[in-house]
A and B are shown apart, each in its own frame.
Chain A
């Protein structure tokens, strides 16, 4: 391994001199964090809503106020007929419509079930789900009030108290920012290493290098080592911005987090090396890297819960290093757990790193063709 040193030094000088790439490697985390942190909100509120009130009574106005008071519906217009209401939703000006039938106050007074119809534009799943939940909530609250007064009870027969542990405010930033650390590391580490090797091939410098006594292992390890540092700088940037801009807690054992992150970074770099053995040009390297990155974002549990996926996709997700690293990130940052709870993830990541390095060293042909 005595040729590792010169290789590492050379790669480090080149990296430092390539200001654009270096800027991108630091800029991407900042930009992504700000986008995800400020722009992406999964809790939908103030859905634009139109109302068709056929009864026009104090009772019906009362019901409409109850909807508005949830904060999920924002009444933007009152319409005079079904066709008008459908039209508002079809145009996309409104995403929900509330219809209170003519018989509503009469049914309520009589004690038969009074109906309110809520129409939701489900072409946007996130906001329609929020509307459905809020609408069901309105009915439940009203029902409870009516039933308990009819039964002359002052206290409710049953109550569930939900305590959201680890993220009591249910803030999406707390969920997104730790995940973002993993996603950014995956994207940049895989892409940067894949490009680094292919660039040597494209520029003809690999041709000169392979006639020297340098071994495959020295060459590959020397190439990826400087980027380990870059990865840890990226992670620090995201964590600090998350802490001071989005107020994301850093509860757990941060040194442990860095230790496991190191293993994850090495695994991602090895994946990049593997990509570089599959392609000939930098453009192909970019395309294949993105091909690897997409499943990482979709299947790792970064945005969509893995429990909801069919078994096959859960399996595919389990084959991604990011899936396991996300558990580590959320475990340490939000739950404050340690190695006792996370040793399994740590071992899996170690396994990934070893296998991927082995595979890419084997595939890397020291010969030109």
Chain B
């Protein structure tokens, strides 16, 4: 396998006359923690949906884990994991039952399934929560359970949609530690967010505005691009976005 986990070429998606994503070119390497940033309506979600095989591109291509999203959208789902911002698991099932369900859905069976669940449980420290109903977990534990289910099948690429929204700072920090451990093991992590503290933990970030790419690079590089006074990523983000909207006020 090459070092490229995700590659998009001229990726474009239209909804009627609205262009949600325009001519997006990205190359994300294996084991990278990559941030997709942008305000609401900038095209983050549409991009993620195309990369997950949920939405067909109008133009261009995207190769995810070596598979073309146009050709085999269903095959992609076996190779990626996805964790939504909203808790997407069953609150009326226990932690263990949720994990067992997702392991089964990802095709694990018998001793292989039990072994994998045991690994994930100890990796994420879920041991003492197994018999607790998911609905009674705190935000931080819900997020860990979400990650557990999304990584059950050892996906090559893991998509996290605003993963630490509504989670306390300590849990946030330990979650990001886990994320970087996964990346070190070779999993590619793609995070969408508009929280700057999440963005600053990424190896590279892409800034989207009105459906197209306006900046790309290490968080400090992106902040540096703006120059005069914009010392933080958040400053750079606002300056770049305003500049883009002045240049092409389409929305």
Contacts and interface: CB of A to CB of B under 8 A. Distances in A.
Contacts of B71: none
Contact of A9 (B49, B104, B106, B159): B104
A205 B105 contact: no
Nearest to A17: B92
Contact of B90 (A3, A5, A14, A368): A14
Contacts of B88: 204-205, 207-209
Nearest to B104: A6
B105 A18 contact: no
B105 A214 contact: yes
Interface in A188-206: 203-205
A212 B54 contact: no
A14 B92 contact: yes
Interface string B81-114: 1111011111111000100111111110100000
Contact of A208 (B84, B93, B106, B107): B84
Interface residues of B, number: 33
B37 interface: no
A10 interface: yes
Given A3-B105, A207-B84, A208-B84, A213 B74 contact: yes
A319 interface: no
B242 interface: no
B80 interface: yes
A211 B97 contact: no
A208 B54 contact: no
A367 interface: yes
A2 interface: yes
Given A18-B92, A367-B55, A204 B84 contact: yes
A191 to B, nearest CB: 19
Interface string B55-95: 10000000000000000001001101111101111111100
Contacts of A18: 92
Contact of B107 (A2, A9, A209, A366): A2
B95 to A, nearest CB: 13
A3 B107 CA distance: 7
B104 A367 contact: no
A150 interface: no
Interface centre among A6, A13, A366 (most CB of B within 10 A): A6
B205 interface: no
Contact of B105 (A7, A14, A207, A367): A7
A210 interface: yes
A215 B103 CA distance: 15
A361 B239 CA distance: 48
B52 interface: yes
Contact of A13 (B77, B78, B97, B146): B97
A290 B92 CA distance: 27
B149 interface: yes
Nearest to A15: B92
A212 B55 CA distance: 14
Interface of A: 2-3, 5-7, 9-10, 13-14, 17-18, 203-205, 207-215, 366-368
- Top 4 nearest A-B pairs (CB, nearest first) are A6-B104, A208-B88, A211-B82, A204-B86
Given A207-B84, A213-B106, 5 more contacts: A6-B104, A208-B83, A209-B105, A213-B105, A213-B107
28 contacts: A2-B107, A3-B104, A6-B100, A6-B104, A6-B105, A7-B104, A9-B101, A9-B104, A10-B101, A13-B93, A14-B90, A17-B92, A17-B93, A18-B92, A204-B84, A204-B87, A205-B90, A207-B86, A208-B83, A208-B88, A208-B146, A211-B54, A212-B77, A212-B106, A213-B74, A213-B78, A214-B105, A367-B55
